[in-house]
Structure 1
Amino acid sequence: MDKERIDGCFLEEEADLIKLQFTDLFGRLKMVEMTRGQSKKVTADGYPINRFALGGLRKEGAVLPFPTGLQDKAENTGLYLKPDMATYQMLPWDSGQENVAGVICDVMDSNGSPSPIDTRNLLKETISRAEQLGLSLYFDFQCEFYLFHTDDEGRPTTVTHEVAGYYDAGPIDLAESVRRDIMLSLSEAGMEVESSHHGTTPGQHCFLLPVRYGVEAADYLQTFKTAVKRIAKRHGLHAAFMPKPSGNGDGSGLHTGIVIRDKNGNTDKETAMHFRCGILKHLRDMMIFTNPLINSYKRLAAEKCNAVQPEFPATIWEEGNDKAVRYTEDRNGIVTITALFPDPSANPYLVLAALAAAGLDGVEKKMRTPECDENPKFPETLGVVLRELDKNAFAKTAFGETLCRMYREGKQEEWDRFCSFVTDWEIQEYLYRC
């Protein structure tokens, strides 16, 4: 990164438009777009945004009542975007006749301090906590998603014409060219992908994203998901990061690898063991953030069957904790902890913050296997973890009371709407015989 850009100016002549990007509480990427000429004032003073921009939920096109955390008129609730100039990059997938660049922003209060509901800052604070313990946390991802056709009006469907399976190649893999376009576009933006291949069921695809440090890893994943959706749309397809988009196919996961290094850059088996135990100990506590959708718990179902009912037991993995948190050591002695339960619909900053906070608790308390559940039982529905959030001491300590309260209110509204919705399964199952 050149000095001029770090000092706070968008001086890249090739950029006609600048996108100020930020992530709302529930993981949606938001943005404000402007010409390059307006950027100097933004980098100096920040850019004011409406506090409702961090809500993220919609109902029939209308903005829902916002959580009480940002409605208290006794508090100063003005919010500002502060560009992180180290994240400035050209966006080939957004560029056409105009060249577009993007920069990721932190969300600040009017007094210049980080907003308590800025999930990117939350991850920064968690990574800083690790650094105070003399540890550095590196993350990589195996991210799965589906490519579906769109209808005549451009709306997404769950239809795929391909029949390819695990690691299949073209011509049976009809989307091979789409994956290539994704990889090359990301490479052009300076974001190399480690590899990609076809997933286990028709329409599913898998990308391996390389190791990155701390917040940079979450920035990378959020940008990757946006690029995939943009490029898929260019091919007339819809990229779905929904964890279980079909009752007939496999679910899509976000396998998150974690490497813990000490001050000398080495990995330590005992530290990794404590970290893994911390994740297992707090697995249920963090799932409202790592598996945030009603649909998430259908992917987590233990039994692989063509179930289409709205809820079914997700009590335990077939092979115990190997399906939740895996411990591996490569030929160079590098130890990796891999969390398999998160799904790609989640807010990347909350996923990494939750895993890091849980693991660090294990390290600080030197947790061992007897203290954590080697056969973790997952909750059956989002409603279960939602009811537990008010008493979730881990979440309130790791994320703060304000964020947890606002997150719960948003998810409660989502759960209430689902509970009152009559599904196709219910009509098929009950209409005839009742």
Structure 2
Amino acid sequence: MDRQQEFVLRTIEERDVRFVRMWFTDVTGTLKSVALAPAEVEGAFEEGLGFDGSSIEGLSRVTESDMLLQPDPSTFQLLPWRGEDQPTARMFCDILTPEGQPSLADPRGVLKRVLEKAAAKGLTCYTAPEIEFYLMKSAALDPQTDEPVPVDGEGYFDHTPGGVVQNFRRDVVLTLEDVGISVEFSHHEAGPGQNEIDLRYADPLQTADNIMTFRTVVKETALAHGSYATFMPKPFAAHPGSGMHTHFSLFEGDTNAFFEAGAEFQLSKIAGHFIAGVLRHSADMAIVTNQFVNSYKRLWSGAEAPSYISWGHNNRSALVRVPLYKPDKVQSARIEYRGLDSAANPYLAYAAIMAAGMKGVEEEYELPPVESDDLASMSAAERHVAGHEPLPASLYDAIRAAENSEFMADLLGEQVFTHLMRNKRADWEAYRKVVTRHELETNLGLI
């Protein structure tokens, strides 16, 4: 038994922990959980915890249903929102086959494999997400507008004395810190009831784990405040969608591999190849960076959401943005991927972005010209001449792009790829049959 496992067992005993929750996700990033009695944790470390994988979306076929959860002791944390009377803790789990081998159906495992390939080349990645979401009065829709009701009418960076969301964000940040997640910024976003909380950088696996914890903390805190939080990409037609812009950087040891003094924008050749890889495969991987029907309402609604494949220096209309260089912060050289929304499965989304960038580095993809103009203000002809192809315009387009992508099939592996595509086709089939309020309002009285 290693030291981390010993620490977990000792903490469980000293803190009188009554329940230990095993956390993992299905292919869409839905959090799954099973509560384990404290006395069973040591056995779970040694042998794993058996469960029926066929009942979880994308994990196994009925004929291969037996799976094992292997708790990761480095992720052990007490859950402060569960109270002190009967302390509850959680650990993220890797999914194993009955033979004890990593399951090819595990989204967390997909990301781990990508990071292991980068590590074999001496590269370490760091990620920092900016997570947006809406706080609503409840999950119910207003019967007159058929829209949710936000908790306030405030806007970007607004600070209203006694504002509902200020106390809410404070409690979220304090709870995140209690579970070991560092926050850099928090503020009101542009939409009514919309908030943004930015997490401190970490490696992609820890970041993905943090995002899953973050979503739970936000929803639990919202309920405690008598409200409802949603990470739906575009809950309002008239207000901005919720993105999850993420900053990426690569390091070789202690050296930032994205930085090169004297180069244009201080970007190294590795950074250029990485960006080129992300751009080339951005349409292919939209199925995981923007996985829902509603995701494309955000991408194609404006409000700084990127609709076209481009990169720019401090250009917030670009899909990939290179933030303003700070001469005294060489280690902070990075890129920002702006196509990701807050509802993505972070394990698969980060695996795709990282793998696309690394493929660009390995094959030395050529970086296209930088775009300094606002892409939304350009004409279709101007965008075409500049080579800015559109991102998928709908989930259907994303499905088609992924179906024809050797990159995505290789990245996800047969099992994850097959189950993900089946799930997304079912989403699209269900959506295409719906008669919307817009159709009734525009057609019923005219046709």
TM-score normalised over the length of structure 1 = 0.88
CA deviation after TM superposition for structure 1 residue 375, in Å: 2.3
Q: CA RMSD in A?
A: 2.6
SS in 2 for 1:353: helix
Q: Write the distance in 1 (CA, Å) between the matches of 2:309 and 2:252.
A: 34
Judged with a 3 Å threshold, the aligned counterparts in structure 2 of structure 1 residues 424 and 314 are, in CA distance, closer, same or farther, namely farther
* Residue 327 (structure 1) aligned with residue 326 (structure 2): no
Pick aligned residue for 1:174 from 164, 167, 180:
164
CA deviation after TM superposition for structure 1 residue 371, in Å: 9.5
Task: Kindly indicate whether the alpha-carbon contact (under 8 Å) linking 1:138 and 1:260 is maintained by their aligned counterparts in 2.
Answer: yes
SS in 1 for 2:439: helix
SS in 1 for 2:100: coil
* Residue 406 (structure 1) aligned with residue 419 (structure 2): yes
TM-score normalised over the length of structure 2 = 0.86
Pick aligned residue for 1:92 from 77, 80, 84:
80
Q: Which structure 1 segments of 5+ residues have no match?
A: 56-66, 306-312
- Between the two proteins, the alignment pairs up a number of residues equal to 410
* Residue 221 (structure 1) aligned with residue 217 (structure 2): no
Task: Kindly indicate whether the alpha-carbon contact (under 8 Å) linking 2:147 and 2:236 is maintained by their aligned counterparts in 1.
Answer: no
CA deviation after TM superposition for structure 1 residue 152, in Å: 8.3
Q: Write the distance in 2 (CA, Å) between the matches of 1:382 and 1:134.
A: 36
Q: Quote the residue 2:105 is aligned against.
A: 117
* Residue 379 (structure 1) aligned with residue 392 (structure 2): yes
Pick aligned residue for 2:355 from 357, 362, 367:
357
Judged with a 3 Å threshold, the aligned counterparts in structure 2 of structure 1 residues 318 and 338 are, in CA distance, closer, same or farther, namely closer
Q: Which amino acid aligns with 1:425?
A: H
Q: Which amino acid aligns with 1:355?
A: I
CA deviation after TM superposition for structure 1 residue 110, in Å: 0.7
Q: Write the distance in 2 (CA, Å) between the matches of 1:229 and 1:152.
A: 15
SS in 1 for 2:201: strand
Judged with a 3 Å threshold, the aligned counterparts in structure 2 of structure 1 residues 183 and 370 are, in CA distance, closer, same or farther, namely closer
- Note the alpha carbon deviations across 1:112-149, whole angstroms, 9 max, x for none: 11111101011011001111122110000100000001
Task: Kindly indicate whether the alpha-carbon contact (under 8 Å) linking 2:307 and 2:319 is maintained by their aligned counterparts in 1.
Answer: no
Alignment of 1:61-76 (within 5 A): 70-71=60-61, 73=63, 76=64
Task: Kindly indicate whether the alpha-carbon contact (under 8 Å) linking 1:10 and 1:39 is maintained by their aligned counterparts in 2.
Answer: no
CA deviation after TM superposition for structure 1 residue 38, in Å: 2.5
Q: Which structure 2 segments of 5+ residues have no match?
A: 259-267, 371-385
- Note the alpha carbon deviations across 1:375-401, whole angstroms, 9 max, x for none: 241111001111232221110111112
Task: Kindly indicate whether the alpha-carbon contact (under 8 Å) linking 1:301 and 1:315 is maintained by their aligned counterparts in 2.
Answer: no
CA deviation after TM superposition for structure 1 residue 95, in Å: 2.8
- Note the alpha carbon deviations across 1:137-167, whole angstroms, 9 max, x for none: 00001000000011689xx971024121111
CA deviation after TM superposition for structure 1 residue 247, in Å: 0.5
Judged with a 3 Å threshold, the aligned counterparts in structure 2 of structure 1 residues 47 and 338 are, in CA distance, closer, same or farther, namely same
Task: Kindly indicate whether the alpha-carbon contact (under 8 Å) linking 1:24 and 1:53 is maintained by their aligned counterparts in 2.
Answer: no
Alignment of 1:204-219 (within 5 A): 204-219=194-209
SS in 2 for 1:197: strand
Q: Write the distance in 2 (CA, Å) between the matches of 1:190 and 1:72.
A: 38
Compare 179-188 and 320-329 and name the one that shifted more.
320-329
Q: Which amino acid aligns with 1:379?
A: P
Q: Write the distance in 2 (CA, Å) between the matches of 1:147 and 1:303.
A: 21
Task: Kindly indicate whether the alpha-carbon contact (under 8 Å) linking 2:155 and 2:189 is maintained by their aligned counterparts in 1.
Answer: yes
Compare 401-410 and 263-272 and name the one that shifted more.
263-272
Compare 121-130 and 11-20 and name the one that shifted more.
11-20
Alignment of 1:187-266 (within 5 A): 187-266=177-256
> % of aligned pairs identical?
31
Q: Write the distance in 2 (CA, Å) between the matches of 1:338 and 1:234.
A: 33
Q: Quote the residue 1:62 is aligned against.
A: none
Q: Write the distance in 1 (CA, Å) between the matches of 2:173 and 2:403.
A: 42
Judged with a 3 Å threshold, the aligned counterparts in structure 2 of structure 1 residues 358 and 201 are, in CA distance, closer, same or farther, namely same
Q: Write the distance in 1 (CA, Å) between the matches of 2:303 and 2:209.
A: 33
Q: Write the distance in 2 (CA, Å) between the matches of 1:86 and 1:37.
A: 19
SS in 2 for 1:283: coil
